[in-house]
Structure 1
Amino acid sequence: MTNSTETTPDEPQIISGLRNPERAVRGLAAGTLVLEGITLLLAIQPVRMLGGSTAAVVTVAVTAVVAFLLSGMMGRRWAWHVASALQVVLVGAIALNWAIATVGVIFGLVWIYVLRVRKRILG
């Protein structure tokens, strides 16, 4: 009697049990980037009230737009790298305003989690 979880050499091993694991991971990443973009748009006024310069406000607005654009491009391999770089840019924006860096740290940690889920599901 054979175990039903064993696979033959020519049969691919399903790691996650999802019907379309790549699509699920892309959806997770896209959803995270949309939430990040919304958060950044909502952060414009607090950044202004905390003494943020025009450069800080422009940085927040541009990174929000980039997050929204990337959310639709997660099917491309390079988009994962650009989204990771976006988190680094936000943390590096501490030179402009500490509030931007705080959002960057929070979403940077969330992005690390997304990358770990991607690695676990896709192998």
Structure 2
Amino acid sequence: MTGDGDGQPRRSGLRDPQRAVRGLGAAALALEALVLLLAIQPIRAVGADLGGAAIAVVVALAVVSAVLAGMMRRPWAWHAGTVLQGLLLLAGLLHWSLFVLGVMFALVWAYALHVRRVILG
């Protein structure tokens, strides 16, 4: 492995590991925002009584996810993304399908955190 100028070998072989990890986190959150927005109508179509407040919660989670995707340069954004996954799991109280989405995206986020830890140490 080659060094990066300060005598430390690169752990991952990536040219810019910080940027790669930020991209992974941003992609996961952007995908989450898109899926949440696209899930509103199918949830309503299968007979769920999603009221205005429940739809507002889903839209708010999607907006927060999209905003966090754009803020992955900030160190606290990773922690906020973890909190977001917990909030999505709690949204499962509104409808079971939101809990399923919460589990899926919590697993995706856990994988992103694992990759971050492996690459950045």
**Aligned pair partner of 1:59 in 57, 71, 74:** 57
**Residue 21 of structure 1: CA displacement?**
0.1
- Cα deviation, residue 120, structure 1: 0.3
Shift of 1:86: 0.4
Does residue 119 of structure 2 align to residue 121 of structure 1? yes
**1:31-70 to 2 correspondences below 5 Å:** 31-49=27-45, 50-70=48-68
Q: How many aligned positions are there?
A: 117
Q: Which residue type is aligned with residue 83 of structure 2?
A: A
CA contact (8 A) 1:47 1:57 kept: no
* Aligned match of 1:80: 78
Identical residues among aligned pairs (%): 50
Structure 2 residues without counterparts, runs of 5 or longer: none
Aligned-CA RMSD value: 1.6
For normalisation by structure 2, the TM-score amounts to 0.90
TM-score (norm 1): 0.89
Answer whether contact 2:2 2:10 (CA < 8 A) is retained.
no
Residue in structure 2 matched with residue 95 of structure 1 by the alignment: 93
Name the SS for the 2:7 alignment partner. coil
1:42-84 deviation line (CA, Å, top 9, x unaligned): 0111232322222221111000011110001001011100111
* Partners of 1:108 and 1:28 in 2: CA distance: 14
**Deviations 1:15-54, CA, capped at 9 Å, x for gaps:** 0000000000000110111111000000111232322222
Between structure 1 and structure 2, the one with the greater Rg is: 1
Q: 1:104 aligns with which of 102, 105, 120?
A: 102
Would the aligned equivalents of 2:36 and 2:58 in 1 still touch at CA under 8 Å?
A: yes
**How far apart are 1:6 and its partner, in Å?**
9.3
Q: Which residue of the other structure, out of 9, 14, 18, is the alignment partner of 2:10?
A: 14
Aligned equivalents of 2:105, 2:70: Cα separation in 1: 18
User: C-alpha distance in 1, partners of 2:2/2:93?
Assistant: 54
